[in-house]
């Protein structure tokens, strides 16, 4: 049998049984090893704050509309940080074999059927720890934020929010040749940011990031700020921290009204540019060469060649039977964890 994690209602999780799927021609069956929990978008579905639960998204007009909503509870199989092993191969499949380890996005479930044409590009080399596979999506989000930031060698880049995606963005910004300042309210996360190559750190509450960065840069301010916490107060401070004509990439998933964002202050007076970054697309200037597939594969290439090591970001691994506890930890104790992972190995056997 398959096992699928469901959000039954706000704050309520269970694990349901379902028939084990079978691959058709051109498809493969994957048995899940690990499935990572997103502390951003996925948590909004768990908590009930996701706009899809309250409004209707019109994909043709690209507008949220009042009235009927797009998603209803129970929400089944949400998740996009998976790694598994090929267990079955449909007719006509080439380039994949039973036992291959794959990363991908198929949700919190013990088994998944994937199209072989796509899956053959998602094989993890034998020398890579399978746990690394859960970072493909969040790594792509971080990489997309760096592309939107258009960082240059020698620039000062400030990354607000040193959660999983923020730490990966810090590492990618360092690889781009920038001088990186990491900002967070949790001291342990700032230590990890230093391990990822951040040149400076700012602990929220012990100093205003805008003032610290202004001093570090001789009054110039940051060239680029990347905001990944999803907090409006942090987005406002990112705007304050950017120098005149500076850039702010808003890559967090912001919920509710933006009362902490005061656009009549530094934003208005310093001509700050705010750019939205979201994994559904790539900046138009780069869309001839980049798309979501390349973002995922590009990040995983950095992992497989050793330039990015995401494993220190895994803090909690729980069996899938404890999915409810895992989501409770992510929601209620964010300072105590980074990447939480559901272990499906016994469940999928």
Indicate which CATH number applies to the domain containing 163: 3.40.50.720
CA neighbours within 13 Å on the CB side: how many for 117? 3
Same domain, 164 and 250: yes
Same domain, 90 and 203: no
Domain membership of residue 225 (yes or no) is yes
Same domain, 229 and 201: yes
Same domain, 257 and 150: yes
Domain membership of residue 338 (yes or no) is yes
Same domain, 238 and 172: yes
Q: What Å distances lie between residue 63 and 55, 56, 57, 60, 257, CA to CA? A: 10, 8, 6, 8, 17
The pLDDT of 181-206, averaged and rounded, is 96
Look up the domain containing 46 and give its range.
2-123+310-343
d(CA 311, CA 303): 10
Same domain, 65 and 10: yes
Give the pLDDT confidence of 305-346 residue by residue, as tens digits. Answer: 999 999 999 999 999 999 999 999 999 988 889 999 999 998
Closest CA to 36 of 85, 84, 79: 79
Domain membership of residue 333 (yes or no) is yes
Give the pLDDT confidence of 132-156 residue by residue, as tens digits. Answer: 999 999 999 999 999 999 999 999 9
Domain membership of residue 198 (yes or no) is yes
Domain membership of residue 19 (yes or no) is yes
The pLDDT of 13-22, averaged and rounded, is 94
Quick one: pLDDT band at residue 189, thresholds 50, 70, 90? very high
pLDDT top residue among 210 and 259: 210
d(CA 8, CA 238): 36
Domain membership of residue 300 (yes or no) is no
Residue 346 confidence (pLDDT): 82
Same domain, 103 and 154: no
d(CA 28, CA 93): 8
The pLDDT of 198-206, averaged and rounded, is 96
Domain membership of residue 44 (yes or no) is yes
Indicate which CATH number applies to the domain containing 45: 3.90.180.10
Residue 67 confidence (pLDDT): 81
Same domain, 198 and 77: no
What predicted TM-score, i.e. pTM, was given to this entire model? 0.95
User: For the chain, what is the domain count?
Assistant: 2
Q: What Å distances lie between residue 240 and 73, 223, 299, CA to CA? A: 39, 12, 30
Residue 339 contacts residue 134 (beta carbons within 8 Å)? yes
Same domain, 275 and 165: yes
Same domain, 66 and 156: no
Q: Please check the confidence at residue 300 and state whether its pLDDT lies above 80.
A: yes
Domain membership of residue 290 (yes or no) is no
Same domain, 147 and 275: yes
Residue 349 confidence (pLDDT): 47
Same domain, 146 and 118: no
Query: In the listed set 283, 298, 320, which residue is the last one of a domain according to the structure?
Result: 283
């Amino acid at each position: 049998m398959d096992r699928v994690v469901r959000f039954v209602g706000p704050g309520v999780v269970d694990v349901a049984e379902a028939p084990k799927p079978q691959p058709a021609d051109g498809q493969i069956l994957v048995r899940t090893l690990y499935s990572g929990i997103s502390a951003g978008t996925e948590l909004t579905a768990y908590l009930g704050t996701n706009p899809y639960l309250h409004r209707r998204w019109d994909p043709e007009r690209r507008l949220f509309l009042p009235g009927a909503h797009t998603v209803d509870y129970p929400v089944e199989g949400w998740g996009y940080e998976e790694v598994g092993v090929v267990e079955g191969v449909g007719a006509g499949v080439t380039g994949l074999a039973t036992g291959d380890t794959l990363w991908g996005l198929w949700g919190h479930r013990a088994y998944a059927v994937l199209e072989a044409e796509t899956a053959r590009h998602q094989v993890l080399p034998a020398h890579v720890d399978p746990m690394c596979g859960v970072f493909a999506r969040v790594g792509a989000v971080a990489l997309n934020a760096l592309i939107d930031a258009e960082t240059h060698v020698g620039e000062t880049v400030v990354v607000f929010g040193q959660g999983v995606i923020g730490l990966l963005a810090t590492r990618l910004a360092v690889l781009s040749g920038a001088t990186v300042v990491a900002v967070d309210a949790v001291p342990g996360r700032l230590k990890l940011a230093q391990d990822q190559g951040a040149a400076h750190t700012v602990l929220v509450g012990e100093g205003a990031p805008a003032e610290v960065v202004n001093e570090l840069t001789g009054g110039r301010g940051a060239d680029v700020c990347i905001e990944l916490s999803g907090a409006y107060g942090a987005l406002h401070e990112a705007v304050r921290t950017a120098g005149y004509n500076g850039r702010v990439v808003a890559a967090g998933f912001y919920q509710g009204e933006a009362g902490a964002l005061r656009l009549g202050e530094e934003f208005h007076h310093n001509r700050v540019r705010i750019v939205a970054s979201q994994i559904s697309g790539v900046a138009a200037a780069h869309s001839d060469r980049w798309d979501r597939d390349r973002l995922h594969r590009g990040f995983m290439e950095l992992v497989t060649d050793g330039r990015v090591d995401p494993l220190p970001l895994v803090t909690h691994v729980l069996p899938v039977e404890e999915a409810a506890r895992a989501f409770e930890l992510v929601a209620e104790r964010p300072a105590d964890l980074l990447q939480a992972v559901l272990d499906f190995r016994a469940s999928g056997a």
